[in-house]
Copies of this chain bind each other. A is one copy, B any other.
Amino acid sequence: MAPGLQAELKQKTPFTSRQQEAYLALLRTADALQSSMESKLKEFGLTGTQYNALRILRGAGPEGLPCSEIGERMITHDPDITRLLNRLEQRGLVERIRDQHDRRVIYGKITTAGQKLLREMQEPIEKYGKEMLRHVSQPELQKLIDLLELVRCGRKV
């Protein structure tokens, strides 16, 4: 049994199952990486959620994307797109466009200011992401990716 996580948590009782140990390790590791990345993103005045949304909109091209589509593509599904777009719109990074055919639909679209910001961030952020995992070898990364996909795809809905 690996004593690492138990020591971190200072738990006196051992894990009741390997599954629970993996679950906790997963949450803590994701939180550690995410917190680290959030602090880096803060230098550019964006939160992780905002950066994620901007990248999705940039990838969507000039037509933009309906709010519902944005929500589905976010790392964390079903966030509150309305208010997320509000904040980004106030800062001039995205704009809203109402669909001409179906007037219920509102498209979010990245502005040139938003694209400029993303361009400036790209190199340092990608470098930072690589740095966070620089001590993990390529084969280990691949193994981790495969295992995570196994966990995710076959999980209980």
State whether the Cβ of A105 lies closer than 8 Å to any Cβ in chain B. Answer: no
CB atoms of B33 and A27 under 8 A apart:
yes
CB atoms of A133 and B19 under 8 A apart:
yes
> Which applies to chain A's interface (DSSP): helix, strand, loop or mixed?
helix
Binds B, one of A90-98, A109-117, A149-157: A149-157
State whether the Cβ of A20 lies closer than 8 Å to any Cβ in chain B. Answer: yes
CB atoms of B145 and A2 under 8 A apart:
yes
Please, which residue of chain B has its CB at the minimum distance from the CB of A30? B30
Q: Which of B24, B126, B136 contacts A75 (CB 8 A)?
A: B24
CB atoms of A133 and B155 under 8 A apart:
yes
Given A59-B11, A129-B23, A2 and B144 contact (CB-CB distance below 8 Å): no
Q: Which residues of B contact A102 (CB under 8 A)?
A: none
CB atoms of A2 and B135 under 8 A apart:
no
Please report A residues at the B interface, Cβ cutoff 8 Å: 2, 4-5, 9-13, 16-37, 59, 73, 75-77, 126, 129-136, 138, 140-157
